Amino acid sequence: MFSVTDSADRGRAPNIRDVARLAGVSHQTVSRVINDHPSIRDSTKQRVLDVMGQLQYRPNRAARALVTHQSRTLGVLASQRSQYGPSSIIQSIETAAQDAGYMVSTANIASTDEESIVAALDHLNAQAIDGLVIIAPQVRVFRAISNLDLRVPFVAMNTSEGTDEHAIGVDQVAGARLATRHLIELGHRHIYHLAGPQDWMEAEARMRGFLEEMNAQDVRTTAPILGDWSADFGYHAGRELMRVRDFTAIFSSNDQMALGLIHAIRDSGHEVPRDVSIVGFDDIPEAAHFWPPLTTVRQDFPELGRRCVAQLLGEMANSPIGSTARIQPELIVRTSTGAPSF
């Protein structure tokens, strides 16, 4: 009589034939249950699933891929995951993929040259991925990828506007306009923009949104300051700006630089928002606990992950869901903004 402990006693993991023997069915039947074949009776399917649970049996994905021509694995090609936005996108994709019954394999591009990109793609293709998500926030990386022959269905996190059927993302321009409009409606007319790195598509889109809203409201603009996303840069930029004091508000392109700005303003003997109002972007988990709590623009990363995976699965099934509208961000108003004092 076969027992649950037999395979463990033999010093190996249970296999499909162990499941079949304990469930009293053929190994072909177990295979059909694993692959969700419609011809299996519900009672038989449940018996096999119960045995799989008893044995803690996990189907061999490589073997399954040979039979079904599907690895149930999605690839993510990422050129940057140290920043909050890209890392949150990857996490949201992993959650949505798991809910859909897929694993995720992520390849990080070591550098921005084409050779590194090709090597990362080769790594993912070696795992027989069924589809690919491209997270390439830098312009030069996205352009390099767009010139390659991608052999699997794919979607791209692309914040630029256009009609690319593979692109999906959050409306960064709209988010920047929300932040800028909020400051203008509070009465600010001397507003600086601390932008992100010039090569990042998100930074360019947020800068464009700031300039569009300032022009639409007929408010004089100054040249944006190009930063590097870090709190250190925000601090040093803030120290320099506080020597000038020809502004009452700053829209920062991300929350980390906004944190540095707040620190610099306080170190100069001034207060936020009494002397300077600050708005960030991203709503990182710590933003509500800055002092003062940060007014910022929130991106719905879970929804972004769900839409991304849904669009990719549609591409894989040859039934694309079509171009989806940009996800709209939300302005989160906290106490780092107020009416100007002069």
* Domain limits, the chain: 16-59, 71-169+302-316, 172-300
Considering the entire predicted model, what is its pTM?
0.79
- The predicted model gives 169-183 an average pLDDT of 96
What pLDDT shows up at residue 64? 55
Higher pLDDT, 201 or 7: 201
Least confident of 52-66, 226-240, 251-265: 52-66
Q: Give the CATH number of domain 71-169+302-316; options: 3.40.50.2300, 3.40.50.300, 3.40.50.970, 3.40.50.10800.
A: 3.40.50.2300
Identify the band that residue 126 occupies on the pLDDT scale cut at 50, 70 and 90: confident
Q: List all residues 6 or more positions away from 197 whose beta carbon is below 8 Å from its beta carbon.
A: 203, 226, 227, 228, 229
Closest C-alpha to 196, from 205, 209, 184: 205
- The predicted model gives 310-319 an average pLDDT of 87
- The predicted model gives 140-151 an average pLDDT of 79
In terms of CATH architecture, what is 16-59? Orthogonal Bundle (1.10)
Higher pLDDT, 182 or 29: 182
Q: List all residues 6 or more positions away from 226 whose beta carbon is below 8 Å from its beta carbon.
A: 195, 196, 197, 198, 203
What pLDDT shows up at residue 159? 61
What pLDDT shows up at residue 2? 45
If DSSP states are collapsed to H, E and C, what string results for the chain?
CCCCCHHHHCCCCCCHHHHHHHHCCCHHHHHHHHCCCCCCCHHHHHHHHHHHHHHCCCCCHHHHHHHHCCCCEEEEEECCCCCHHHHHHHHHHHHHHHHCCCEEEEEECCCCCHHHHHHHHHHHHCCCCCEEEEECCEHHHHHHHHCCCCCCCEEEECCCCCCCCCEECECHHHHHHHHHHHHHHCCCCCEEEEECCCCEHHHHHHHHHHHHHHHHCCCCCCCCEECCCCHHHHHHHHHHHCCCCCCCEEEECCHHHHHHHHHHHHHCCCCCCCCCEEECCECCCCHHHCCCCCEEEECCHHHHHHHHHHHHHHHHCCCCCCCCCCECCEEECCCCCCCCCC
What pLDDT shows up at residue 11? 56
Higher pLDDT, 310 or 138: 310
Higher pLDDT, 159 or 116: 116
**Do 16-59 and 172-300 come out as alike in CATH topology?**
no
Residue 270: phi and psi, rounded to 5, are: -115, 175
Identify the band that residue 8 occupies on the pLDDT scale cut at 50, 70 and 90: very low
What pLDDT shows up at residue 1? 40
Assigned token pair, 20: 């079949």
- The predicted model gives 20-47 an average pLDDT of 84
- The predicted model gives 281-285 an average pLDDT of 96
What pLDDT shows up at residue 146? 76
Calpha distance 316→26 (Å, rounded): 31
Mean pLDDT value across the chain: 87
Beta pairing partners, 195: 226
- 172-300 in CATH: which number? 3.40.50.2300
Calpha distance 231→4 (Å, rounded): 55
Higher pLDDT, 28 or 80: 28
Calpha distance 124→334 (Å, rounded): 42
Higher pLDDT, 120 or 335: 335
What pLDDT shows up at residue 323? 56
Least confident of 105-114, 212-221, 263-272: 105-114
What pLDDT shows up at residue 66? 46
